[in-house]
Chains A and B, each alone.
Chain A
Amino acid sequence: MATITSEIESSIAHTLPAGDFVLEPLTGADDNNVDLIAVVRVSIESLWAKKMRSFLTMLGVIIGVFSVVALLAVGSGASNAITSQVQSFGTNLVVIAPGSITNRSAGFSGPAQTMTLEDANAIAALNLPLKGVAPQFNGNTRIVAAAADKDAAFVGAAPSYQALNHLVLSSGSFFDDSQVRNAAPVMVLGANLAKELFGSGQAVGQIVRAKDQSLQVIGVLATQGGGGFGSVDDQAFVPITVAQQRLFGARTPDGNGYRVTAITLELVHGEDLPAIQQRIQILLRERHHLKADGSEDDFSVLSQTAFLSTLNSITALLTTFLAALAGISLFVGGVGIMNIMLVSVTERTREIGLRKAVGARERDILLQFIAEALVISLVGGLIGLVLGGAFALAITLSGALTASVSPGVALMAISVAMAFGLFFGIYPARQAARLNPIDALRYE
C-alpha cells in the first residue's frame, strides 16, 4: 500500500507541478446567456454523427422545397409565355361580336345575327381614337382547286384587317379598297391552305371555285405560326363584300343591309378601352333598340386586356394550387423532422441530464434542439432551393419555357421550411428541456 502510494505520488508530482496551474475564480453575472455559436456547433456535430439519418430527414424538406420552387418557376414561366403569345396578336385589339357574353354559344357565327355593316360604319363615324374599324363576315365552305379540294374557314374582311392582325404576305398582295367596293372575286390564302391546295406549285394567279363562284388567288401569307383563335395559316381571306354577297348570303332580314360576324377595332391608346367600350355599348344598344331598362346586350365586346387578366388570374390560381399541394410535402417533411427529433431526444437523454447537471438551463436545452431542427430545415431548404433552381434552368435551356426562381419565391420557400422546422422541432425540444436532470442521468 505504502509503495503504491509513493509510486503514484511521484507520477503525479511529475505531471502536476505544485502551484503552477491555478484557475482564477469566476465571478460571472447570473443572467449570462448561452454561447449560441457553441450551441449551433453542437447541433451540427450531432446531425453529422448520424449522417444517413439526418440526410433522410432532410430529404423530406428537400423534396418539399424543391417541388414548391420548381412548380412556381414553371408556373410563372408558363403564364409569362401565354401572356406574351397573346400579346403578340396585337395589344390594343377589341373585338365586337354578336351575342351576349352570358350566351357564348352565339359566338362569332352563331344564330344571333344582329350586327350589321351599318353598325361598323356608325362606330367609325363616332370618330373615336381608333387606328381602324374592321368589320368581317366569316363562314366555312369548300374550296375546289385543280388538283385538290379542302374545307376552309373564310374570313371576309376589309383591307385594314391585314395591318390589324399583323399579317405578312409571302407572295402576291392583299386586296384593296376598290376590290372590296366592287366585290371583286379575289382571295388570299393562309400558308398551310395554299400548300394543301397547290402543293409546292405557284398559287398566285390560280383560279379556284367555292360555292359555285370563281375566285382568283392574289396573295399567299407567310407562315404565321402560333395558336390563337383558329390558326391564320389555315384560313382564306376574301373581301367582306364577296363573303356577304357572293359566298354566304348575309343580307339582313329587312333586305336593306348586310350582317357582319365581328367588328375588330384597334385602339390608339390601350387606356382608352373602358371609355370606348362604354361609348360603343351605348351606340349599339341604341341602334339595336334595346331598352334602357336593362334588357341584355345582344353583342359582346371582347378585349385582349380583359382576356389577359382572366387568363392571368386562372394561371395564378392554378400555380398557387399546385404550390399548395407541394407545400403538403413540405409539411410531411416537417413531420419527419419531429419524428427524428423525438428519437434523438430519447437517445440523448443521458447527455441532456449531464448538460443540466453541469448548469444548462431549460432554455439552453430547448435552444439546442430547436437549433437542430432549424439546421435540418435550413440546410434541406437550401438544397431544395438549389435543386429547384437547377430544374428551372434545365427547363429554360431545353427551350420549352423561360422558368426562373424569383428572390421572393426563394425567400418564401426557405422561410416556410424553417417555420415548419421550428413548429415541428418545438415539441421534442420541450420534451428534452423538461427532463428532470437526475432521471435523465439515470436513463438507460
Chain B
Amino acid sequence: MGSEAASEPLLRLRGVTKLYEAGAGRVVGLSDVDLEIGAGEFVAVMGPSGSGKSTLMNILGCLDVPTSGTYEIKGKSVAGLSPDRLSELRNREIGFVFQVFHLLPRHTALRNVELPLIYAGVPREERARRALEELRAVGLEDRKEHLTNELSGGQKQRVAIARALVNKPSLLLADEPTGNLDTRSGDELMEILAGLNASGVTVVLVTHDPAIARRAHRTVYIVDGKLVSVERFREIRG
C-alpha cells in the first residue's frame, strides 16, 4: 500500500537521537533514527518494552525535542518554534493518546474531552456539543458526567481517544491505545482509526499485537532506540 506517499513527506526525522540524563547515567532513548511518514499514511510502531517507542511518539507529537538531529513537519523544522507555537501546533494538528491516558483527575469525562477545544477558543455550547459527539463515537455517552477516576481502564482509554480526536487533528499519535481493551473493543477502536485514516488523517500507532499492526499500511520496528528491518526484529524476538 502507501499509495498516497507524496514527494514531500508529512513528517521527517533525520538522525534523531534522544539521550536521557538519568540518575544512574545516560540512557539512550532513540539513536540516529531516520524516518519519513507521508500524509495520509497509517504506520504501526512495534518494539520490545523500553525500546524507545514512547520516546519516538513524544518527539513526533512535539512534546519533546531531540538531543540531536532534525524533525520536520511539512518540511519545516520544529526546533525553531517557541513553546507557545508548539502548543498551538499540538492543539490544531495533533491528537495524542497517551500510554497512561493522562486524563485530568476529578474532572468529568466530558470536561476532559472538551479540554483541547477550550484552548482552541471554541465557544462553550459548541464545545460541549462536539465533546459529546466524540464521546458517543467511543460509546461513552452515558458516562459523560462521570469523573475520570470513576472509570475503568478501558473506559479511560476511550475518553483519551475521544479527547485526541475532538479537535479534528490531521495527525493522530496513539501509544498502545488497544492495550487496555478486550478484543472486541480493540477491533471497534481499530475500525474507528481505519475510518479516520480513510478520511485523510495520518495515523501512527504503537502496538505489541502483530494482528493490529497488520491493519496498518506499514510497520516500523524499533529495538534499543534504533529502527531495524522486520527480519532483524524477528531474529531478536526469536
- Do A and B bind? no
Q: Which residues of A contact B (CB under 8 A)?
A: none
Q: Which residues of B contact A (CB under 8 A)?
A: none
